[in-house]
Amino acid sequence: MNLPNSLTVSRIFFVPLLVVVLLTNFDGRNILGVPTEVVGAAIFAIASITDWLDGYLARRRKQITLLGQVIDPLADKLLICAALISLVRMDLVVPWMAMMIIGREFAVTTLRSVAYARGVSIPASGMGKIKMVAEVVAILALILSYGADGLRQPLYWIGQGALWVVVVAALASAFDYFRRFNIVLNPRVADFAAARDQRSDRKAG
């Protein structure tokens, strides 16, 4: 197993560790003298960094493999879903927002898997990347705001604001994925889109 895939697998192992740290009632809410919210945020931050690093290394070393293409999005979904469900349990995220985001993740993953099985790759959209960045900001801010006093209260509102960005971006990117899925796998839709683009080019010319 190459280094990028090893980093992806390590991200999967961070998932249960994150849940245990966030949802276990440690004495004094400390782990070896460190507040549990700081430990949880550090685990999530390290896991998120591996998400960027494995893709960067795979492209730089030209080690993009079928295994990596399969487990990388799976690891991402597991990490985000585990974090959101834990935050719902901690009363930091309302359930409907978490379910909407998680539902979008599974729907898009299913679409991309179906397309890939038919030999077609649907790349990540720009809105999907915005969603991912907003998710990391929201989850980190909300974890660090747990049990917040007045000094850390702004983190809670930053997290809530970023979470709304996630919801909007999730809906927009899901619509974009459905649109591209239809264009790529439905010949009639693809022909219509091509004809429309040709008409637009003629008008522009």
- Per residue in 180-196, pLDDT (tens digit) is 777 766 655 444 444 45
Please give the Cα distance from 17 to 6 (Å, whole number): 17
- Judge whether 17 and 23 are in contact, CB under 8 Å: no
State CA 76 to chain mean position distance.
5
pLDDT value of position 178:
83
pLDDT value of position 67:
66
Question: From residue 169, how far is each of 55, 63, 81, 115, 137 by CA, in Å?
Answer: 22, 30, 16, 22, 14
- Judge whether 134 and 168 are in contact, CB under 8 Å: no
pLDDT tier at 43, thresholds 50, 70, 90? very high
Please give the Cα distance from 113 to 106 (Å, whole number): 10
- Those residues whose C-beta lies under 8 Å from the C-beta of residue 21, and which sit 6 or more positions away, are 31, 36, 39, 40, 43
pTM of the model: 0.81
pLDDT tens digits, residue range 133-190?
A: 999 999 999 999 886 555 467 889 999 999 999 999 999 888 888 887 777 666 554 4
The total domain count for the chain is 1
- The CATH number linked to 148 is 1.20.120.1760
**N-to-C CA span, the chain:** 51
**Closest listed residue to residue 134, CA positions, set 88, 177, 173:** 173
**Who has greater pLDDT, 80 or 181?**
80
- Judge whether 87 and 139 are in contact, CB under 8 Å: yes
Q: What percent of the chain has pLDDT over 90?
A: 33
Domain containing residue 142: 3-204
